[in-house]
């Protein structure tokens, strides 16, 4: 199966503008040999690709309603270009906002996954479904920060899966690119080794918007950005060259497989780190973020819908 990860420019804003930008990239992807009966290509977009990664409550104005608009647009793309398309979007359902990722194909919607642990001041936190059943097998979807946490692993470890997607909008220090690359390689390679399936990591590029909380303030102070570094990890990947700067392509073998080895975790994290910082600072930050989210979500939904809501 041919897979293309599109490393989007996060600085492009507006739903219509981003839809046009993404379709322009899809239209340029190299076509398959029409004489061969092959599986449609899979095009993988980053986290929150339709609205851009805006890590504050300003993003709520771009939230879809139960994925309706995202579904309509993604189906048009999948049908027009005969592809499977993975797309990230902000969603609103009931009294909450969610960070979601949908996979659609030429014959319809395969399903959607929801981020469990992300920017908790903006999106509802929980233990949500992280697999999507597709015609080419069950796909694990680790949205952004979820790839770093044990909760994602718990959701896929006993499943038979064919691929893992890691759509991200992951900010880091641009002065430490090699360190970021090594961490990406380590995290994704652990899953390749454990499941023996392709892992597609796709991250956006661009400036980091205002990020809430003390940890966010530190990132802003240090000049964090979205640095891209997208890559398709697979033991048998054959690279596909394109003239599109945003596109990373590879042909990979896709078969449903069960986990062949365990992955160890460190206090709920995929890789070793600062134990006290994780246990105290990040936990405290998450508790503050959940309260901040809870305080503002209902007034925001009332402004968006024009309807009075009650808890």
Domains and CATH numbers, the chain: 2-305 (3.60.110.10)
**CB 25 within 8 Å of CB 245:** no
Q: Among candidates 232, 244, 168, which has minimal Cα distance to 206?
A: 168
Residue indicated by tokens 């139960």: 66
Q: What is the C-alpha separation between 196 and 243, in angstroms, rounded?
A: 30
Q: Among candidates 244, 208, 204, which has minimal Cα distance to 224?
A: 208
Q: Give the model confidence (pLDDT) of 190-243 as tens digits.
A: 999 999 999 999 999 999 999 999 999 999 999 999 999 999 999 889 999 999
The residues with which 101 forms a beta bridge, in sequence order, are 88, 113
- Name the percent of the chain in helix, strand, coil, to the closest 5: 35, 25, 40
Alpha-carbon distances, residue 6 vs 146, 204, 206, 233, 294 (angstroms): 20, 8, 14, 15, 33
Q: What is the C-alpha separation between 63 and 24, in angstroms, rounded?
A: 23
Alpha-carbon distances, residue 67 vs 62, 138, 257 (angstroms): 12, 20, 30
In percent, the amount of the chain with pLDDT more than 70 equals: 97
Q: What is the C-alpha separation between 50 and 90, in angstroms, rounded?
A: 8
Q: In what order do the strands lie in the sheet with 171-172?
A: 171-172, 225-227, 205-207
Dihedral, 179, 184, 189, 192 alpha carbons, nearest 10: -170
Residue 17: enclosing H or E segment and its boundaries?
helix 15-28
Q: What is the C-alpha separation between 84 and 32, in angstroms, rounded?
A: 14
CB atoms inside a 10 Å sphere around CB 173: 14
**CB 74 within 8 Å of CB 87:** yes
Q: What is the C-alpha separation between 294 and 120, in angstroms, rounded?
A: 10
Of the chain, the end-to-end C-alpha distance in Å amounts to 47
Pairing type for strands 163-168 and 137-141 reads: parallel
Instruction: pLDDT tens for the chain, 311 residues: list them.
Output: 999 999 999 999 999 999 999 999 999 999 887 645 567 899 999 999 999 999 999 999 999 999 999 999 999 999 999 999 999 999 999 999 999 999 999 999 999 999 999 999 999 999 999 999 999 999 999 999 999 999 999 999 999 999 999 999 999 999 999 999 999 999 999 999 999 999 999 999 999 999 999 999 999 999 999 999 999 999 889 999 999 999 999 999 999 999 999 999 999 999 999 999 999 999 999 999 999 999 999 999 999 888 887 65
């Amino acid at each position: 199966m041919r897979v293309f990860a599109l490393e989007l420019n996060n600085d492009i804003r507006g739903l219509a503008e981003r839809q046009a930008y993404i379709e322009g990239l899809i239209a340029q992807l190299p076509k398959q040999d029409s004489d061969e009966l092959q599986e449609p290509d899979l095009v993988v977009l980053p986290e929150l690709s339709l609205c851009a990664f805006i890590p504050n409550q300003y993003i709520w104005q771009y939230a879809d309603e139960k994925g309706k608009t995202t579904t309509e647009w993604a189906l048009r793309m999948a049908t027009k270009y005969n592809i499977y398309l993975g797309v990230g979007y902000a969603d609103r359902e009931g009294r909450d906002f969610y960070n979601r990722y949908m996979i659609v194909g030429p014959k319809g919607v395969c399903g959607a996954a929801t981020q469990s642990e992300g920017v908790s001041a903006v999106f509802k936190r929980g233990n949500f479904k992280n697999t999507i059943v597709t015609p080419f097998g069950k796909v694990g979807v680790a949205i952004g920060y979820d790839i770093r946490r044990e909760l994602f692993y718990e959701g896929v470890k006993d499943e038979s899966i064919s691929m893992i997607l890691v759509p991200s909008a992951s900010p880091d220090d641009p002065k430490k690119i090699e360190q970021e690359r090594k961490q990406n390689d380590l995290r994704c390679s652990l899953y390749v080794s454990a499941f023996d399936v392709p892992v597609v990591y796709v991250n956006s590029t661009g400036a980091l918007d205002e990020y809430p909380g003390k940890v966010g303030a530190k990132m802003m102070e240090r000049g964090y950005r979205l640095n891209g570094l997208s890559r398709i990890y697979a033991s048998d990947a054959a690279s596909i060259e394109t003239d599109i700067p945003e596109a990373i392509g590879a042909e990979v073998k896709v078969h449903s497989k069960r986990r062949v080895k365990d992955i160890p975790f460190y206090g709920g994290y995929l890789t070793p780190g600062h134990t006290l910082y994780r246990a105290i600072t990040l936990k405290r930050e998450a508790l503050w973020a959940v309260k901040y989210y809870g305080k503002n979500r209902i007034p925001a939904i009332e402004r968006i819908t024009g309807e009075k809501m009650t808890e």
